[in-house]
Amino acid sequence: MAETRLPFGIPESELRLSFSRSSGPGGQNVNKTATKATLHWDALHSPSLPPDVRARLLAAHGSRLTRAGELVVQSQRTRDQARNAADCVGKLAALLRSLARPRRVRRPSRPGRAAVERRLSEKRHRAQAKRERGAPRRDD
């Protein structure tokens, strides 16, 4: 099917490719050739996908799955059916590689003492400037 190797040892037998007419480049050729590639992969039930990666896939890209749990990837970048099929496999591989490692947990940090002091000093300065804009008080 394609030269791109899929991560996690996903066999190509789990992938289903279909082709249809493309709306991309190709001129009048677009009207008579099926160059758009659509790849279907049953991500929800795939035995090759580790459970932790499946959980990250559902969390990050759950809206891209069909009701049956299939991930659908399309490509119509080129005028060639085989290159579009390879592009679909490449997109799937890139998606799975991005989910391979869990994201680092963000630890919230606090501003330093000098930053807090600068903010408060500037705040006092702005308040003073606004006070001076008003009408003069009687006690002055």
> pLDDT tens string for the chain (140 positions)?
545 678 888 998 999 999 999 886 667 777 888 989 999 999 999 999 999 999 999 999 989 999 999 999 999 998 889 999 999 999 999 999 999 998 899 999 999 999 999 999 999 999 999 998 988 777 75
Confirm whether pTM is higher than 0.75: no
125 lies in some domain: no
Q: For residue 40, what is the domain's CATH number?
A: 3.30.160.20
Residue 62 maps to a domain: yes
Whether 93 maps to a domain, the answer reads yes
In-domain check, residue 126? no
Domain contains 115? no
Residue 2: per-residue pLDDT: 47
Residue 42 lies in a domain: yes
Domain total in the chain: 1
- In the chain, count of helices (H) and strands (E)? 3, 3
What does the pLDDT read at residue 69?
92
Spatial neighbors of 69 by CB under 8 A, at least 6 apart, are 42, 43, 44, 45
Q: Evaluate whether residue 11 is within a structural domain.
A: yes
Range of the domain at 23: 7-100
75, 84 contact by CB (below 8 A): yes
Is 17 a domain residue?
Answer: yes
Residue type, 138: R
